[in-house]
């Protein structure tokens, strides 16, 4: 147990900041072992850094052992203070960078899964523009679930996110990006694959198992899925592909994601005229965000390509 008697945190040094960044990575990765890859240092080194930080703060930050990794109550509060501190440091850096002619700093962007195959490459083209204008800009991409991306934008862990326009917090600004079209698919192993469209009535869908999404959907999408016999769930679209390709399930997929399997004859669209819906995708930023030159350049580029 760390002895806290008489200990106070004095001036925060560069070494303290380094320890705090290690602590942040450990918490976000869920433990020492998982943080090794993210930090690029060994588990014993991570353990030593954590011990040094606990001694420096005079606080026990986490429990670690056979029961797994868990923050103490004080550790949770220190983690919240860590996010505030590192966000303030990044704000300072980006605002100072804005005084210079050359674009510098970093962009932390959160993307929902499986957008890379989208033919309208607004995000990719905007990132290319950003890199052309600021060769020294550091771009960090985080692939996460939409709710995690929204929370990351709110707590300033992410500067911008690209998510479906579903259940967004009122404290974010959303800018239209493009729409995804989703259709109902089955694999070449599925009984419906070989049936002609004329001989197939939509009522047949109720007799076949389907995979449903485990994430929020707009109303049109909820109505489309309500017609299916949902017996499996997927946390993301890639998971839905895995299940559909077994030949045991039907399910909705974005056209751009299904395209390679359609071309190879491994997937088929079912009832393309009626079993379809669209989901708007948007970029989100904090409504009360501070000026950030790198982010402003990126958003302006996205708008141009849109």
Side-chain half-sphere exposure of 103, counting CA atoms within 13 A = 19
Q: Tell which CATH architecture fits domain 103-306.
A: 3-Layer(aba) Sandwich (3.40)
Task: Tokens for 114, please give them.
Answer: 């499986």
Write out pLDDT tens, residues 208-251: 999 999 888 889 999 999 999 999 999 888 999 999 999 999 99
Q: What is the pLDDT of residue 250?
A: 97
Fold of 14-93: Arc Repressor Mutant, subunit A (1.10.10)
Q: What is the DSSP string of 131-175?
A: HHH-TT-EEEEEE--HHHHHHHHHTTS-SEEEEESSS--TTEEEE
> In a 3-state reduction of DSSP, which class is residue 118?
coil
Contact predicate 171/285, CB 8 Å? no
For the chain, how big is the Rg over CA atoms in Å? 24
Calculate the alpha carbon distances from 22 to 18, 41, 66, 207 in Å: 6, 10, 21, 52
Q: Over range 182-203, report the average pLDDT.
A: 84
Domain boundaries in the chain? 14-93, 103-306
Calculate the alpha carbon distances from 116 to 24, 125, 141, 184 in Å: 28, 12, 12, 20
Burial of 11 (0-12, 13-18, 19+ CB in 10 A): exposed
Mean pLDDT of the chain: 88
Q: What is the pLDDT of residue 77?
A: 93
- The model's confidence at residue 1, banded by pLDDT at 50, 70 and 90, is very low
DSSP state of 119: S
Inform me whether the pLDDT recorded for 100 exceeds 90. Answer: no
Contact predicate 106/293, CB 8 Å? no
Burial of 6 (0-12, 13-18, 19+ CB in 10 A): exposed
CB contact set of 181 (below 8 Å; sequence gap of 6+):
254, 255, 276, 277, 278
Percent of the chain predicted with pLDDT > 90: 54
Among 84, 88, 83, 81, smallest CA distance to 9 is for 81
Write out pLDDT tens, residues 120-156: 788 999 999 999 988 989 999 999 888 899 999 999 9
Query: How long, in residues, is the chain?
Result: 306
Q: What is the pLDDT of residue 13?
A: 84
Inform me whether the pLDDT recorded for 5 exceeds 60. Answer: no
CB contact set of 81 (below 8 Å; sequence gap of 6+):
none
């Amino acid at each position: 147990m760390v002895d806290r008697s008489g200990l106070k945190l004095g001036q925060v040094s560069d070494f303290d900041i380094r320890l705090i960044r290690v602590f942040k990575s450990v918490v976000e990765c869920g433990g020492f072992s998982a943080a090794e890859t993210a930090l690029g240092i060994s588990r014993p080194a991570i353990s030593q850094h954590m011990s040094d930080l606990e001694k420096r703060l005079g606080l026990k930050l986490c429990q670690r052992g056979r029961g797994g990794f868990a923050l103490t109550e004080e550790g949770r509060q220190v983690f919240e203070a860590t996010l505030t501190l590192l966000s303030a440091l990044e704000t300072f850096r980006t605002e100072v960078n804005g005084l210079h002619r050359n674009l510098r700093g970093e962009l932390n962007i959160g993307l929902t899964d499986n957008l890379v195959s989208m033919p309208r490459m607004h995000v990719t083209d905007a990132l290319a523009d950003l890199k052309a204008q600021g060769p020294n800009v550091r771009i960090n991409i985080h692939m996460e679930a939409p709710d995690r991306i929204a929370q990351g934008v709110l707590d300033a862990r992410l500067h911008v996110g690209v998510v479906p326009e579903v259940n967004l917090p009122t404290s974010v600004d959303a800018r239209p990006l493009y729409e995804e079209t989703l259709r109902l698919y089955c694999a070449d192993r599925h009984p419906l694959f070989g049936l002609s469209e004329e001989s197939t009535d939509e009522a047949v869908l109720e007799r076949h198992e389907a995979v449903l999404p485990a994430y929020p959907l707009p109303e049109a999408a909820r109505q489309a899925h309500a017609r299916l016999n949902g017996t499996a769930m997927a946390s993301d679209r890639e998971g839905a592909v895995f299940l559909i390709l077994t030949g045991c399930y039907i399910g909705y997929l974005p056209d751009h994601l299904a395209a390679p399997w359609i071309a190879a004859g491994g997937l088929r669209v079912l009832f393309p005229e009626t079993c379809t819906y669209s989901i708007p995708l948007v970029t989100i930023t904090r409504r009360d965000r501070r000026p950030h030159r790198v982010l402003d350049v990126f958003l302006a580029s996205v708008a141009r390509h849109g």
